[in-house]
Amino acid sequence: MNLSPLQQARYEYSPKLPGMLRHGISEICVSEGAPTQSVADQDKISALFPNTYGKKEITFQKGQNTSAPKKQVVGVILSGGQAPGGHNVVCGLYDALKATSSENVLYGFKNGPSGLLEDDYVVFDDAFINAYRNTGGFDIIGSGRTKLETKEQFAVAAEVCKKHGITAIVIIGGDDSNTNAAVLAEYFAANNTGVQVIGCPKTIDGDLKNEDIECSFGFDTATKTYSELIGNIERDANSAKKYWHFIKVMGRSASHVALECALETQPNICLISEEVAEKKMSLSQIADQIADSVAKRAAKGMNFGVAIIPEGVVEFVPEFSVLIGEINELLAGSKADAFNALATWEEKYAFIEKGLTKESMAVFALLPQTIQQQLFLERDPHGNVQVSLIESEKLFSALVAAKLKKMKADGLYNGKFSALHHFFGYEGRCAFPSNFDADYCYSLGYNAFMLIQYGYTGYLSKISNLSRPADEWVAGGMPITKMMNMERRHGEDKPVIRKALVELNGKPFQYFEAHRATWAEDTCYTYPGAIQYYGPASVCDITTRTLALEKGN
């Protein structure tokens, strides 16, 4: 097998653990805190989780290990989209398991939760694990988006666990995956299977966070990867001085990625979906904001710039959300067949015009034809518009071009506007993890085994104090139900982990808000450069600007 020099060096990197996990398994004890309750809907959540609700938060510390010794056979699952560091969660779990007893066994269920249901697995050994240490991706066992949510699935999972003598399952995933982990833990507890379930917080979107989970893993590496690319584009823009770059970044439900990249690179424009929703901004108002920056920079002879667009921003525009709802109704049931049978776009446009309200048709008419047609492309399994397929970066550049054309006709603008478009998404999901993510993920996996060893179930592996050096990190666990509320999903009220959106009164957004007017008019670009793995800790081990601002560092 041919390895790059960096790949070989990363295999040999020794991740840093929190101080209390460095004492050795026999010298780690538990300190229990107060009982917990869910963030909302306490009566409903407690009724749904009678065996796992209200448990205590716990912290690990130096002291005599009091856990009952027994052979542990653990299964691990990677669930949902990839995130840098996932391999190290598995490696940390494996190392803690083997450090406790060489008789312990780790199963890796392939391709996500479906591997557990289909009994498709590998048994890890040292050689297998060593080939994936400190590397990006989920290719160690693959991932998948099968949801564990029905009693029939739980029964199958219980049988597979019984067949292999499995004592615990670790699910590495985002908010939906960890919601499923909590429901599975409740089923296993209610049916006395003896199988524990532990979750680990993963998502590059950054929306699995709260007062306990300071950061989901993968966010640090992904945003550093995107910020390097954005910085490169900024340098190019400032060199060529003739293009406006519209850059879409991942983040459909929340704008954490866009905000972090803006804090890292100081672009001229960064849209924040949560602000768009709060201010009920229209597409025209958003285009005005960007066009104003273009015009002011052009007046200074700078016909170039950079705008960061979160991929889900259009869903936060109230008038656009209404339009999407009307389109979904317009093409419901057999009406979709009638629409698709029309031969030309002109005929389809007339069909649309008859079916939409006057207000929504006005919004639709604003859109470039390519975007109009994207709204009527392949539907999702529920027959709805797939908003994620909309090229919002092209939508806003087209709207801005139209604004500027009118401004030029009115004598308000005399610059040049040429737009280029980018989407940064998959580039960051499987990057070599930063030192922060390599250390954090290894700690999450190691800590997950400690939760198993002490008999906890329905808990999330928790590492906190993350803005400090790793030896000051605090390891422990929190009941997953603490993060839950009830939400309407597919016509039913369901318990789910509450997504964390960008807080407009939070320190990261407030810093951005205080500086963005200057960034919009002047060239204040910063160039983060490539992720650094070797050198001073002040360069190699730094965390995100978001976390540093939140913690006042």
Active-site amino acid positions: 205
**C-alpha 537: how far from chain center:** 26
Nearest-angstrom CA–CA distance, 178 and 262: 29
Dihedral sign (CA 49, 54, 60, 63): negative
Kindly report the three-state secondary structure assignment for every residue of 169-206.
EEEEECHHHHHHHHHHHHHHHHCCCCCEEEEEEECCCC
Q: Which tokens go with 445?
A: 């996996």
SS3 state at 492: strand
- Contact (CB, 8 A) for 73 and 449: no
Q: How many CB atoms are located within 10 Å of the residue 59 CB?
A: 17
Nearest-angstrom CA–CA distance, 313 and 311: 6
Q: In what order do the strands lie in the sheet with 419-424?
A: 269-270, 305-310, 244-249, 419-424
Q: How far apart are the first and last CA of the chain?
A: 43
Question: Which amino acid, residue 301?
Answer: G
Nearest-angstrom CA–CA distance, 268 and 266: 7
Residue 54: exposed, middle, or buried by beta-carbon count in 10 A (0-12, 13-18, 19+)?
Answer: middle
- H or E, element range at 78: strand 73-78
Which of 533, 529, 549 is CA-nearest to residue 438? Answer: 533
Nearest-angstrom CA–CA distance, 523 and 528: 15
- Contact (CB, 8 A) for 160 and 188: no
